[in-house]
Amino acid sequence: MIVNTELEQKGNQFPSAINSFVKEKDKFLITTENDVLLQITVVRDSVLRFRYAPNGSFPKDFSYAISEDAVRGYNHLEYSEEKDRYIIKTSKLQLHLNKANLQKTIYDIDGKLINQDEAGFHWEYSYEHGSDIVKMSKAEQKMECYYGLGDKPMHFNLKGKRVENWVTDQYAFGKDQDPLYKAIPFYIGLHSDISYGIFFDNTFRTFFDFGDERRSVMSYWAQGGEMNYYFIYGPEMNQVVTNYTDLTGKPELPPLWALGYHQSKWSYYPESNVREIAQKFRDLKIPCDAIYLDIDYMDEFRCFTWNKEYFPDPKGMVDDLTEQGFQTVAIIDPGIKIDKDYDIYREALEKDYFCKRADGPLMRGKVWPGECNFPDFTNPEVRAWWSGLYKELIEDIGVKGVWNDMNEPAVMEVPTKTFPLDVRHNYDGNPCSHSKAHNIYGMQMAKATYEGVKQFVYPKRPFIITRAAYAGTQRYSSSWTGDNVASWEHLWIANQQVQRMAISGMSFIGTDIGGFAEQPTGELFVRWIQLGIFHPFCRTHSSGDHGDQEPWAFDENVTNIVRKFIELRYKMLPYLYTAFYQYVEEGTPMVQPLVLFDQKDHQTYYRTDEFMFGKQILVCPILEPNSKGRRMYIPRGKWYNYWTHDVVQGGKEVWVDADIDSIPLFVKEGAIIPKYPVQQYVGEKEIEEVELEVYYKEGKEKSVLYEDANDGYDYKKGRFSYRTFKLTGHKNQLIIQQHKEGSYVTPYTKFKLDLKRLPFEIKTIEVDNQETSLSKLKVNGNTSLEVDKNFTELHLIGK
């Protein structure tokens, strides 16, 4: 039977008619006359998994992406047979399966079309790859838009584009360049106000085509492996992302210092230079929590060694830095220098831990140390060994975080920039070639690092940052977007990449602020800092070839503006930490593109620049030189300009002033934003008072505040403090109700409420039904009020 002549002529094969349909618990097994096997698993009411085998049998089921903790189970499942189709129904979805050709159509429970196969599953034998290229094609729905897919440096809406997932070291990449450092084969579709996602859990080189090759057809395929994908229904885009994140795993909370400002360069050395940089931050009173040691701290780039000439006493230095409130983060790359006098090399060699070519010799390639061999991180025994290597660095020397780089794996001076495809991998007991293991190599290195650091830094929390990633890497590590460039275009790219990564399950992400390659002007650096403080991971890093990139490297005006914005980050730490908690608990992205924030507003579909930082703050970076402001889109609803407190009605584009010392910033009406006092580093001060900025609204809005000991695991035993504030505003009344959960006792005793644009003059204050004196009230421009942190209801009544 010919399903699609065009595809058939190109050598594709298709399933024929269904000849058996069997239900086994949560699975359906369907076979066709030409021996195609389809397995449908009902993972949740809104999540279906599809596996296809062209030749009637599946290989062992194994995935690095899917989390063991993923929620499984459904409320309702039924199926029926009609003349031409089978129908599977959950409480959220209905799947129609065409008996003649195995094509699928998915509807919501009310019969609204969500997603439909075009040719559906098909495949083509590839002589070159020695396997089938497994393919899926879908009909593009009217006005359908596409989002997601990790770190693609292109327009936020992927409609009309084709992208490739192959983890690649892409120094000084350009706009639209593809592929880059991450492979996250997950996209989100949106049409008719309905959103769904597809996660193609295949680690081979994969491609996604959003109407580029054939108009009105969306397709994806892999150069090997299985057609194995998850269909995730929303209808809200946020539900798609939270469900995807649940499936591929959520991280644990990082230590709070990891959300502070970090300073890095390739490289700070010798020791005196590191100390100088640290001291300068304190002298200039620019908050900073971490300082990075790039490859030059090592002895000829041998991992887990120190250059004793530059760093004669690593522990002494790290201790002193800790004393000054700096955490030290050190880089570790995968390449192990071929050197018989290097104990780690000898040990890995003796224990047979290195990757090998198909015919037996060790995989050998050039990286920073020169010729190297590479541990096979897909072997659990190798990972355990690698974890153990961190003992000295973390437990003895006191380094607090580890930076994994070059783990694509990158190889220098070869055209493919990586291993040859014949290299063998253990793949957790499923031996395979590099074609299959390439995209998860870096992820497995990050996993081994995470497990080691976690063990040796205990009872504190680990902090890992990785460059390469596959879907699910968020369980182990934060990440940055690799070797960008100090250009205005890259500032735009930075914004796209962070938003895209956040909706691809990896919220703990940032860019090299100021650009890695080349030198930013002071103005560009300022604009990048203004964006970077709203990214979950906030680090300045540069190649160091073109001059310095510390906050004081430009002029005094730059230093002052940079200080102002880093201070703002520190004030907003409780808000950011709360967003992290929501990410950990619910899978909610910490940065939200406008289309996710309000998908019913079609104006948001092609927006790129504006985004939500957490759930209540709207940010729009200035992306051009010599700007005094910019036009931007304000989403529906009412918003307060953060700087002027003027209220704007959204749903339209407006001009916003933002001279060099400002960035367009808005707060959602009704929000209560918690703020800490400025600290030079997390834990410098005991927090005595938390400020709550209250943005009056006539109506209701809910805000939350999560806090704990900022490190350690007590929070898992319930020692956290989770406050919910419900604001209800009337013409001359404002009510704030507080509900508290968790047993952590915060060190502060009171809140200072900063009431923005209260439309009435306060006559009476009632705290928990008791009238209180007006003496706690201050009115000078703004109205502020001190209240006990444990109030349950605050009632402000106007004259």
Question: Which of 405, 512, 707, 754 is an active site residue?
Answer: 405
- Rounded to the nearest whole angstrom, what is the least distance from the CB of residue 170 to ligand GLC in the complex? 10
Instruction: Give the helix/strand (H/E) hosting 69.
Output: none
* CA pair distance 268, 271, nearest whole angstrom: 8
Q: Does 482 bind ligand GLC (CB under 6 A)?
A: yes
Length of the chain: 799
Q: Does 605 bind ligand GLC (CB under 6 A)?
A: no
- Judged by CB, which is closer to ligand GLC: 331, or 464? 331
What string marks each residue from 186 to 225 as x (binds ligand GLC by CB under 6 A) or -? ----------------------------------------
Q: Which of residues 382-401 bind ligand GLC (CB under 6 A)?
A: none
Q: Which of residues 449-478 bind ligand GLC (CB under 6 A)?
A: 467
Classify burial at 139, counting beta carbons within 10 Å of its beta carbon; exposed 0-12, middle 13-18, buried 19 or more.
middle
408 classed as catalytic: yes
Question: Which of 117, 118, 483, 707 is an active site residue?
Answer: 483
Task: Give the residue, chosen from 154, 241, 288, 331, that forms a contact with ligand GLC under the rule CB under 6 A.
Answer: 331
- Rounded to the nearest whole angstrom, what is the least distance from the CB of residue 294 to ligand GLC in the complex? 5
| DSSP percent split of the chain into helix, strand, coil, nearest 5 | 20, 35, 45
Question: Which of 117, 294, 408, 567 is an active site residue?
Answer: 408
- Rounded to the nearest whole angstrom, what is the least distance from the CB of residue 368 to ligand GLC in the complex? 7
Classify burial at 272, counting beta carbons within 10 Å of its beta carbon; exposed 0-12, middle 13-18, buried 19 or more.
exposed
- Judged by CB, which is closer to ligand GLC: 439, or 703? 439
Distances (CA, A) of 742 to 250, 575, 689, 720, 721: 21, 18, 19, 5, 5
- Judged by CB, which is closer to ligand GLC: 182, or 541? 541
- Rounded to the nearest whole angstrom, what is the least distance from the CB of residue 302 to ligand GLC in the complex? 14
Task: Give the residue, chosen from 209, 405, 693, 701, that forms a contact with ligand GLC under the rule CB under 6 A.
Answer: 405
Take residue 647 and report the two structure tokens written for it: 């209220």
Distances (CA, A) of 575 to 569, 605, 676, 720, 773: 10, 27, 9, 15, 30
Q: Is the peptide bond before 267 cis (omega within 30 degrees of 0)?
A: yes
* CA pair distance 646, 385, nearest whole angstrom: 58
- Judged by CB, which is closer to ligand GLC: 306, or 696? 306
Maximum C-alpha span of the chain? 87
- Rounded to the nearest whole angstrom, what is the least distance from the CB of residue 479 to ligand GLC in the complex? 11
- Rounded to the nearest whole angstrom, what is the least distance from the CB of residue 178 to ligand GLC in the complex? 18
**Among 251, 243, 263, which residue's Cα sits nearest to residue 198?**
243
Q: Which of residues 528-567 bind ligand GLC (CB under 6 A)?
A: 541
Q: Which of residues 254-313 bind ligand GLC (CB under 6 A)?
A: 266, 294-295
- Rounded to the nearest whole angstrom, what is the least distance from the CB of residue 303 to ligand GLC in the complex? 12
Q: How many CB atoms lie within 10 A of CB 236?
A: 15
Query: Under a CB-based contact definition with an 8 Å cutoff, are residues 216 and 174 in contact?
Result: no
| Sequence-ordered list of residues with C-beta below 8 angstroms from that of 780, at least 6 positions apart, any chain | none
- Given the DSSP bridges, would you call strands 782-788 and 652-657 parallel, antiparallel or unpaired? unpaired
Take residue 438 and report the two structure tokens written for it: 């390439």
> Which single residue brings its beta carbon nearest to ligand GLC?
266
Take residue 778 and report the two structure tokens written for it: 């201050």
- Judged by CB, which is closer to ligand GLC: 525, or 611? 525
Q: Is the peptide bond before 674 cis (omega within 30 degrees of 0)?
A: no
550 classed as catalytic: no
Take residue 609 and report the two structure tokens written for it: 């620049």
Q: Does 402 bind ligand GLC (CB under 6 A)?
A: no
- Judged by CB, which is closer to ligand GLC: 115, or 542? 542
* CA pair distance 593, 599, nearest whole angstrom: 10
- Judged by CB, which is closer to ligand GLC: 29, or 172? 172
376 classed as catalytic: no
Q: How many CB atoms lie within 10 A of CB 179?
A: 23
Instruction: Give the helix/strand (H/E) hosting 744.
Output: none
- Rounded to the nearest whole angstrom, what is the least distance from the CB of residue 265 to ligand GLC in the complex? 8
* CA pair distance 734, 745, nearest whole angstrom: 27
Under rule CB under 6 A, how many of the chain's residues touch ligand GLC? 9
Task: Give the residue, chosen from 178, 209, 271, 483, that forms a contact with ligand GLC under the rule CB under 6 A.
Answer: 483
- Rounded to the nearest whole angstrom, what is the least distance from the CB of residue 267 to ligand GLC in the complex? 7
For helices 522-532 and 556-571, the axis angle rounded to 10 degrees is 0
Q: Which of residues 54-83 bind ligand GLC (CB under 6 A)?
A: none
Q: What is the DSSP string of 105-135?
A: EEEETTS-EEEEEEEEEEEEEETTTTEEEEE
- Judged by CB, which is closer to ligand GLC: 197, or 482? 482
- Judged by CB, which is closer to ligand GLC: 467, or 475? 467
- Rounded to the nearest whole angstrom, what is the least distance from the CB of residue 513 to ligand GLC in the complex? 12
- Judged by CB, which is closer to ligand GLC: 407, or 495? 407
Q: What are the phi and psi torsion angles at 369 (to 5°)? A: -75, 0
Name the residues annotated as catalytic.
405, 408, 483
Q: For binding to ligand GLC (CB under 6 A), which residues are involved?
A: 266, 294-295, 331, 405, 467, 482-483, 541
